[in-house]
């Protein structure tokens, strides 16, 4: 009899946040599939970059029509990742998707961003048993996550928020705020005045603002 008798399917346990055994129920094969697709994606020569969107759609669970992830990109399963329309991630994105990762529309990631849904028990005896667990990550529409930021298990980032570079996000961030630090904390709200500037006190011209209005409707 299999050793998971009485414990339920390990993939089902993984996806609902229960302790699970990552070496059972086809999980190693699913991780191997993701690694093969990531390897193929990361090693496409420039003359074949037109194939990248189709590869991402094979790898990820659900995507919008327009998305860009600069290589290298690495994930555990891929199938547990949903990204919306107009998603862009710069170099070296890592997503450990043992739990669902949901990313909204028009989201930007800087380079070296990492999303970790995966966790291990704190006590060494429990950790040595091999049990793992995962908690979902949710990132709302129009979020910008600065380079080298880390998003930890169970975090939700609200619509329109900006996460400063190098942040470690350990708890939920509300919508329409600028937040940064380790641990990440809210610095201030994002206001209509911010809409008129491209960087702090550097304003857009009227022509540039008109273009912004035309693009966002």
pLDDT at site 162: 98
Confidence grade of residue 205 (pLDDT, cut at 50, 70, 90): confident
Structure tokens at 191: 């206001």
How far from the centroid of its chain's Cα atoms is residue 182's Cα? 18
Domain-located, residue 5: no
In angstroms, rounded to a whole number, what is the distance separating the alpha carbons of residues 89 and 143?
Answer: 12
Domain-located, residue 3: no
pLDDT value at 1 more than 60: no
Domain-located, residue 190: yes
pLDDT at site 197: 82
pLDDT at site 6: 44
The domain that holds 198 is classified in CATH as 2.160.10.10
pLDDT at site 9: 94
pLDDT value at 3 more than 50: no
In angstroms, rounded to a whole number, what is the distance separating the alpha carbons of residues 77 and 34?
Answer: 5
Q: CA-CA distances (angstroms) from residue 38 to 42, 57, 71, 121, 176?
A: 6, 12, 9, 28, 33
Instruction: Encode pLDDT of 35-78 as tens digits.
Output: 999 999 999 999 999 999 999 999 999 999 999 999 999 999 99
User: For 10, what's the count of Cα atoms within 13 Å in the CB-facing half-sphere?
Assistant: 19
In angstroms, rounded to a whole number, what is the distance separating the alpha carbons of residues 98 and 156?
Answer: 16
Structure tokens at 80: 């547990």
Q: Which residues of 68-81 are buried (b: 16+ CB within 10 A; e: fewer)?
A: ebeeebbbbbbbbb
Domain-located, residue 20: yes
Domain-located, residue 204: yes
Domain-located, residue 54: yes
Catalytic residues: 120
pLDDT at site 7: 59
* Mean of the per-residue pLDDT values of the chain: 93
Q: Are strands 93-96 and 73-75 parallel, antiparallel or unpaired?
A: parallel
Confidence grade of residue 210 (pLDDT, cut at 50, 70, 90): confident
Instruction: Encode pLDDT of 114-159 as tens digits.
Output: 999 999 999 999 999 999 999 999 999 999 999 999 999 999 999 9
Quote the domain boundaries for residue 99: 10-216
Please report, in angstroms and rounded to a whole number, the separation of the first and last CA atoms in the chain. 60
Q: What is the pTM of this model?
A: 0.91
Q: Which residue in 162, 60, 147, 188 sits closest to 107, CA to CA? A: 162
Residues in CB range of 55: below 8 A, 6 or more apart: 37, 40, 41, 44
Asked if omega into 72 is within 30° of 0 (cis), the reply is: yes
pLDDT at site 216: 66
Domain-located, residue 122: yes
pLDDT value at 33 more than 50: yes
Instruction: Encode pLDDT of 186-197 as tens digits.
Output: 999 999 888 888
> What is the count of structural domains for the chain?
1
């Amino acid at each position: 009899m299999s050793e998971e008798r009485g414990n339920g399917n390990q993939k089902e346990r993984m996806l609902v946040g229960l302790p699970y055994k990552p070496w059972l129920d086809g999980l190693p094969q699913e991780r191997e599939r993701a690694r093969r697709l990531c390897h193929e994606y990361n090693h496409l020569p420039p003359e074949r970059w037109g194939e990248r969107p189709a590869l991402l759609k094979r790898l990820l669970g659900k995507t919008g029509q327009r998305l860009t992830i600069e290589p290298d990109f690495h994930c555990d399963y891929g199938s547990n990742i949903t990204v919306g329309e107009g998603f862009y991630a710069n170099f070296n994105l890592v997503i450990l998707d043992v739990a669902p990762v949901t990313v909204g529309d028009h989201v930007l990631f800087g380079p070296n961003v990492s999303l970790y849904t995966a966790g291990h028990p704190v006590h060494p005896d429990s950790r040595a048993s091999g049990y793992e667990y995962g908690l979902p990550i949710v990132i709302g529409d129009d979020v910008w996550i600065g380079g080298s930021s880390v998003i930890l298990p169970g975090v939700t980032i609200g619509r329109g928020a900006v996460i400063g570079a190098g942040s470690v996000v350990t708890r939920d961030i509300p919508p329409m705020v600028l937040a940064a630090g380790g641990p990440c904390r809210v610095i201030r709200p994002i206001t209509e005045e911010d809409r008129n500037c491209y960087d702090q006190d550097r304003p857009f011209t009227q022509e540039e603002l008109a273009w912004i209005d035309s693009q966002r409707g």
